[in-house]
Every structure is written in structure tokens, then in C-alpha cells.
Amino acid sequence: MSEQPFPAAYGFLASARTGGGQDPEAPRFATRGRYSELSERLRAQSVRFTLVHPGDDTSGAYATGADTLVVLAGEIYNRAEIDTVLDRAAASDAERVLGLVERYGLHAFRLVNGRFAAFVAEGERVLLATDHSGSVPLYTRRTAGQVLAATEAKTLAAPHQGDLGFPAGGARRVRRLPGLHQVPAGSVLEIDTGRGTAETHRTWVPPVSRRIMSEEAAVDAVRHALEKAVARRLAPAAPPLVVLSGGIDSSGVAALADAAVLGPIDTLSMGTDRSNEFPQARVVADHLGSRHREITIPTSELLAQLPHTLHAAESLDAEVIEYLLPLTALYRRLDGPARRVLTGYGADIPLGGMHREDRLPQLDTAVAFDMDTFDGLNEMSPVLSTASGHWSTHPYWDREVLELLTVLEAGLKRRYGRDKWVLRAAMGDVLPQETVVRPKLGVHEGSGTTSGFTLLVREAGVPEAGVAAAKTAVVEELFDRIVVGGEEPDRVDLPDVVEKVAKAVKG
Ligand code: ATP
Ligand code: MG
Ligand code: MG
């Protein structure tokens, strides 16, 4: 269980200077929260940072050592393990990272299972670290004598005087934002400001080997790993809310969360006027006795959230935006106090759940491809929910769960004609049978998001063959206006964007 109901900080913008450089402009994050401006003078660098945070107390979001400053957004899940190797007790996750950096240097991040982005200034270098899955995006810009880093690209969008490119490979350039790079998933970008060098060190890579296990051993391992991942994501002071579709992934999380806490959990389902999965989610809610709520969002209102989805996810992938749109809309409707949200997001990637055919070679090819290409899509970004004041976390992308699910041989993922067989078998005793055997239905399908978006561009005159290209163009245009151009999402005229794109597609 987590000590604190929420991470001390959800995001940051930090600047480390050895010499010149401009002060960063006052940032505007999509993340909702309070802003605190702090600074710290180290021997060779002076650091200024802005935290965006949910509570009054920011002390858990940074920690200082002799000549080291750690700034952390997000949270750690293997706290107890880490604490066994530290010399002194850590009062926060930032202190844990500091203790690890003092002991292991930049390899510290190989030891952390968490959902975080970190900025470390130490001596003459800056370390920029992502968690294994890069779930909290981290961007950087470098000028002579200055390193800037932030958890949202938009806060670093303005060009800076004397922008330097990166000599090191690995960091990804960001569309239409020259000088801006994204730190890869599972990496530490080490920037030596004295020598002017930058190097990427991997802290996690998706496993490509596969393990043969008996049915029983695999099922037990999956159940155990997932139980642990769910438990680590709960906090006594913040009762969990599970966003529930009635599919096996979110239903499994709901069942394990329910088993881990006293009293009922909260569950929430969204649907639209076009489509919903309410009956299937209701079966699970009734079974668990959860406090269940359904939210129906008219399709026009759902599509109107596209600018907000771009604002939060800063992703250029139209398919990913379609998955994230219904969730963004759901979080924006989730009023009341801040919640700790657990999702079933991401299970399909290591298990090949989207792969709708029976052959194992193709299944493992799909898994390996998806595990190789998720980086930079920002699919797991917490900003989707923190933009509405809620913290979200994804147990299937816990480092241990993800590793285990990835390495299981394909025959355990598809078995007896079922997709995600091992997960279904692992949940057999805590969910109704109809939920356990329910075929996969994507969040973009169950909510009618894909078909609604298609209709939107078709009605603007885009021919059937041009739909995918038009959706991509809409997403790119929104990215350019909101992330690059700094336009407020509420002020973007979506019909206007769609019309412009449709004209271009029609030629
Ligand atoms: P399956 O992949 O087998 O359909 P699932 O529905 O739980 O299981 P996805 O469809 O991949 O998973 O959706 C990803 C996650 O998004 C879900 O696990 C759930 O947490 C959330 N989600 C999806 N649809 C809804 C919905 N209609 N209402 C609330 N949350 C949803
Ligand atoms: Mg799923
Ligand atoms: Mg589903």
C-alpha cells in the first residue's frame, strides 16, 4: 500500500544552469494542481524548478544531498525493497531516489519499479530518467550552459536562444518543436554540462525471450504478480476507483482491488449515445458489490474532447488518441474530490489481446512489435487524468507484471481458442464466468469512439479511403495548435479543424 494518497508532485519543469541561459517562462501545464516555484544552489549548478502538485506539501517531491538535487514526479511501487538497501530511512520517494543515486550512481533507476519522471542535478551533470515504460513523459531542451526538462512538451515549446541539438542518439525529436527531445522509456539521459556531452543509458528493455511454463505455474504467477501490483497501487487514505468496462482486464483489477480493501470499492463506466458496455460492467459491479456509477456522454460532446485529449496526451498517434479520448472524457466528468484511479489499461499489449487470429507465430510477432513500438505514444500518461485532478495508475504495466506477461510463451496467451487465456484463468475464481469468457472489446469500440470520429470526418466530405489519413491530419493539426502553438483546448474550433483537413484530403 502507498503511504501517501497521492504523489507529492504530478509534474515539473526544471532548469539547471552552469552559466548563461534564460529563465524558463512561467509554465502552463495541462496537469491540474498548485504550482510551486523552488530553487537550489549546488556547487556547479543552480537549479530552478516548478512543481505542479495536488496537495499543500511539496517536500516529498524533491530531495537534496551533499551536491545532488532530485526532483520527482509520480510514485514508486517497490518501496519496501528499495528501503532494504538504503543507509537511512527515506521519508519520500524523492529521498528514495536520492539514496539510490548516492549508492548506485546513474544505475539507480534500474532498481526502481514505478510511475515517474525524475530530474537529478549532481556535480556537473544532469540525469533525466523515465520509468521502465516511460509512462510519465519527459522532455528536454538544451542551450549553452543550461539544461531544461519538463513532464509536458508544451511547457518547453517556446524556442530558446542558442538551442543545442543533442549529440547522443536515443532521445526522440518532437514534431514541429526544433530543439526539443523526449527521453526514451526505461532510460537515463546523462548530460554532462562540463564536457557538453549527452548519453542515453537503458534501465529497462522489453524482454524478447519467452518462457515455457505449466498452465498451473503460469496462472499462479500471473495472479500473484497482479495481486501485488494492485495492492501496491492502493492507498488507505484514498479509496480506489476502478474505471470498469466489464472486459477481463478492468474486471480483474476491480476484483483484486476489492479483495485487497475492507468495504466496497468504487467503479465507474462510461458510454455514449451510440454505444456502451453498461450491462457487462454492471455484472461485475453487482458481483463485487461495488458502488457503481454510469456516465453517458453524447457523441458530439465526446468528440469535442479531442482538443483536451491532445492537450493531455501530447501524442501524434491517431489510434492512441481514439483509445484515450473516451477516458479523457470520463475523467473530465469525474467531479468531486481527487481520486486514485486504477485501470485495466495496457494488458492487451504484452498478451496480444488485439490480435484476432489463432496462429502463435503471428501472435508473438504482434507482441514483440507492440512492445518495441509503444515508446513515445504517451498512452499511459498520467496527464489524461491529472488534467482533471485525478491520479491514475495501470497495474498491468507494473514492471513485474509487464515482464511476466511479456515472457509467457504465446501458447499461454492464446489457448483453447481464447485470447488472453492465462489472465482469464488467473481470474476464474473472483469473477462471474460470463466476464471471464467475454471476448475482448476495445475501449474505442465499446464507446463508439472510432465510429463517431469516422462519421465526423465522413460528414465533412472525406471519402472512406481517406478516413485514416484525415484522422491523423486532425490529430496533427490539434497537436500543432495546442502543444506547439499554446492554444487553449477550449478555444480550438474543432469543426473548423475538421473542415480544413477534409479540404486538404479531398485535394
Ligand atoms: P478487454 O481488453 O478484454 O476489452 P478491458 O475492457 O478492461 O478488457 P480495454 O478495452 O483494453 O480493457 O480498455 C482499457 C481500459 O480502459 C479498461 O481496462 C478500463 O480500465 C478502461 N475502460 C475501457 N472502457 C471503459 C468504459 N466504457 N468505461 C470505463 N472505463 C473503461
Ligand atoms: Mg484491454
Ligand atoms: Mg474492453
Question: Measured in angstroms, how far is the CA atom of residue 243 from the centroid of ligand 1?
Answer: 7
For the four alpha carbons of 62, 65, 69 and 73, in that order, the dihedral sign comes to: negative
Distance (Å, whole) CA 174 – CA 376: 9
**pLDDT per residue over 45-104, tens digit each?**
999 999 999 999 999 999 999 999 999 999 999 999 999 999 999 999 999 999 999 999
| Residue 172 CA neighbour count, 13 Å, CB half | 18
Residue-level pLDDT at 358 = 85
444 Cβ inside 6 Å of ligand 1:
no
User: Which candidate, 245, 309, 277, 355, places its Cα nearest to that of 453?
Assistant: 309
Residue-level pLDDT at 445 = 93
Question: Measured in angstroms, how far is the CA atom of residue 261 from the centroid of ligand 3?
Answer: 24
Pair 23, 48: CB distance under 8 Å: yes
343 Cβ inside 6 Å of ligand 1:
yes
Chain-centre distance for alpha carbon 194: 33
pTM of the complete model: 0.97
Three-point CA angle 153, 166, 131, nearest 5°: 55
Low-confidence ranges of the chain (pLDDT < 70): 1-3, 20-21, 165-169
Amino acid at 391: W
Residue-level pLDDT at 138 = 98
The end-to-end CA distance of the chain, in Å, is: 56
Query: Bridge partners of 294?
Result: 269
CA distances from 379 to 291, 314, 345, 347, 349 (A): 28, 10, 9, 12, 11
Q: Where are the alpha helices (DSSP H) in 9-107?
A: 79-83, 93-104
Residue-level pLDDT at 241 = 98
Atom of ligand 1 nearest to the CA of 447: 27
Residue-level pLDDT at 419 = 95
**pLDDT per residue over 236-281, tens digit each?**
888 899 999 999 999 999 999 999 999 999 999 999 999 999 999 9
Residue-level pLDDT at 3 = 66
Residue identified by cell 508473438 is 364
Pair 303, 314: CB distance under 8 Å: no
Please name the residue whose Cα sits nearest to atom 18 of ligand 1.
344
Sheet holding 114-122, edge to edge: 62-64, 68-76, 114-122, 125-130, 187-192, 197-202
Residue-level pLDDT at 168 = 61
CB atoms within 10 A of CB 315: 22
Pair 73, 131: CB distance under 8 Å: no
Reported ipTM:
0.99
Please name the residue whose Cα sits nearest to atom 11 of ligand 1.
442
Question: Measured in angstroms, how far is the CA atom of residue 442 from the centroid of ligand 2?
Answer: 6
